[in-house]
Chains A and B, each alone.
Chain A
Amino acid sequence: MIWVETLINGALLGGLYALLGIGLALVFGVMRVVNIAHGEFMVLSAFCAVLLSSLFPQVPPLLMLIPVIALSFAVGWLYQAVIVNRVVTSPDPLSPLLLTFGVSVILRNVMVEVFGADVRSLQVGELSRASLEIAGLNIGIMPLLTLVLAALLFMALQLVLRHTEFGRIVRATADRRDIVRLSGVKPDRVYNYVMGLSLALGAIGGVLLAVRSSFTPFSGAERLLIAFEVVVLGGLGSFWGALLGGIALGMAQLIGLKIDPNAGLLYAHLLFFIMLLIRPSGLVSSRV
């Protein structure tokens, strides 16, 4: 019974991990850039939420998601417009990788200097401890809500990309950046919106993860690695794949923690590495 509970909790955690990965997948699918600074932006949004909730203690902390998402969208838009767009068409595929890695180092150290290296978390009071009892299984309300939210967001994203004009423009830009210009689309501007959307999704994941576990300015690296593993395990470009990848990683992590309480992310990393060995064909990329 305890193992069933572990598996269910792992799956719920997986919903959160999928949220971490989806922003990364979106940017990669549209502009072929792995945004290494994605994890740092998530941590930054968590710091913003903590800061806002200490400024306005009477407002429920989860409502802080709304301003933080808006802020993250703006930051993403600017980040793409000012920095990433300058290398996105570089003939060398490594330029965006190195550039975003440089940005991640800057962000991490600015956060260390501004917020200090202390361990933080976002307190949501009763909600974080509330749980449901179904057939003798203890299931947390907060993780359950997170998984539902992740599934809803995935559906919404799918709908937007499939059936709206914005979605068509994004997909067309992902396919042929040079050809969409003939229809009056400015690819750089589409990229700005996509990066904004990606960081807004990252902010949701970042803030919810800050509720679940504590963070420091150095947490960005592990958030990025989890996000990347989710995307690769799920098969690039597939949103539902990302959800499955997240669930697999969440289960691996919680089973690992049951066996060995201070394992951290080791078992999630191991699962990823073993999958690389036995199923490299699953790594073949496809577009959004």
Chain B
Amino acid sequence: MPTRTLLLACCIVLIAVIAGAPFVLNEGFLRLATECLLLLTMAQMWNLLAGYAGLVSLGHQVFIAFGAYALFLTSGWLEVTPIWVLPVAPLVAAAVAAIIAFPLFRLRDAYFSIAMWVFAEIIGAFTMKSQAVGGTSGVPLATSKLIDFDWFEPTMFWLAGGLTLVTIAALYKMMTSSFGLGLMSVRDNDLAAMSVGVDVRHNRFIAFVLSAAGCGLAGALSFMGNLFIAPLAAFDVNWSVYMMFIVIIGGIGTLEGPILGVIIFFGLRELMTGPLGLSGGWYLVGLGILAVVVMIVAPRGIWPALRDRLGVRLLDVHRAAPRPATATIPPGVSERVTG
């Protein structure tokens, strides 16, 4: 299949680019690229939930925080380099998601969204009270002396790049599998999906847990890069704002949308806070206005609108309906079926 070969070739080129980038880029640029890639992963995870499973979470920062705190605390207890305990982050976030899913999945639409937010606020408040995890002032990475700082930035970049590639590849694979088809059928029409035997709750549950795990890992990497974590930064609702804006602007329910969204997100940020000299607040205002305009003009986002106009298909997971076999259709109705 030619598309397959093309994707594989793209993948190899991307791996080569990510492997080589640290030798070409300077440190500041590398940090920015790492930030981009991590936010792209988080946006893809938010999109998995909102765009494919139809659940909008306004409290996804709680999984970022759980992943990051899990990494910081385990690394401190075991006294090993934080990179080796990275797997703890997605596991903890996934476990929390699996538990919290039981009460939250009783709620629908806006109730789910805001209950998630309240949950994040509660956990944030407890974190600020608990001296064991540093209280309001936060904790530094206890094992930062074990890190080889000559290779720290490149390693962070490689980890972020690897995570992004694996995430997108896995999502592509998942969405072209029967699980993905089931998930999308639930989003498009849950009643019809149920009637053909799709387990709606089960599908949503898996999407929720996977989304939490991905955000946990990306969050752990993000705060590991800072070598410090504080509850106000970890439980910041702006994490959800960023993920949402990237997905909404780029294109909800597509794999390419968040990529485009991240490019716009960082492009606008560098333009507004750099040459235009505006503050971060005005940047968020600009981004918000862009998101609101996109939602009104092109509710599915910029990428789907572009795709339909240009006819380009990159990581498309759409499937064409099977063509009716002409022989089995009686001549009288065939025109109505195909037309």
Contact = CB atoms under 8 A, between A and B. Distances in A.
Interface of A: 34, 36, 83, 86-87, 90, 92-95, 97-99, 101-103, 105-106, 109-110, 112-113, 221-222, 224-225, 228-229, 232, 260, 262-266, 269-270, 272-273, 276-277, 280, 283
B299 A102 contact: no
B106 A102 contact: no
B50 interface: yes
Contact of A221 (B54, B125, B237, B279): B237
Contact of A92 (B282, B285, B289, B299): B299
Contacts of B299: 87, 90, 92, 95
Contacts of A90: 299
A266 B292 contact: no
Contacts of B113: 34, 97
A178 to B, nearest CB: 20
Contact of A34 (B110, B129, B281): B110
Nearest to A92: B299
A106 B115 contact: no
Contact of B291 (A36, A102, A283): A102
Interface in B54-89: 54, 56, 58
Interface stretch (B116-124, B205-213, B325-333): B116-124
Contacts, number: 107
Contact of B245 (A102, A103, A265): A102
B268 interface: no
Given A101-B241, A106-B289, A272-B118, 9 more contacts: A83-B296, A86-B296, A94-B50, A99-B296, A102-B248, A105-B245, A224-B114, A225-B114, A266-B126
Contact of B122 (A87, A95, A269): A269
Given A99-B295, A102-B288, A228-B114, A280 B106 contact: yes
23 contacts: A83-B292, A83-B296, A87-B296, A93-B109, A94-B50, A94-B56, A97-B56, A97-B109, A97-B113, A98-B56, A99-B296, A102-B291, A102-B292, A105-B241, A105-B245, A105-B287, A106-B292, A109-B284, A109-B285, A263-B125, A264-B125, A270-B122, A273-B122
Interface residues of B, number: 39
A7 B56 CA distance: 36
Contacts of A36: 58
Given A98-B56, A99-B295, A277 B289 contact: no
Contact of B103 (A99, A232, A260, A276): A276
Interface centre among A109, A260, A270 (most CB of B within 10 A): A109
B121 A269 contact: yes
Contact of A269 (B109, B110, B118, B284): B118
Contacts of A266: 122, 125-126
A227 to B, nearest CB: 10
Top 10 A-B residue pairs of the complex, sorted by shortest distance between their CB atoms? A106-B288, A34-B110, A266-B125, A109-B281, A109-B284, A113-B281, A105-B288, A102-B292, A102-B291, A112-B281
A102 B285 CA distance: 9
B296 A229 contact: no
Interface string B236-261: 01000100110010000000000000
A87 B298 CA distance: 11
B111 interface: yes
B170 interface: no
B244 A101 contact: yes
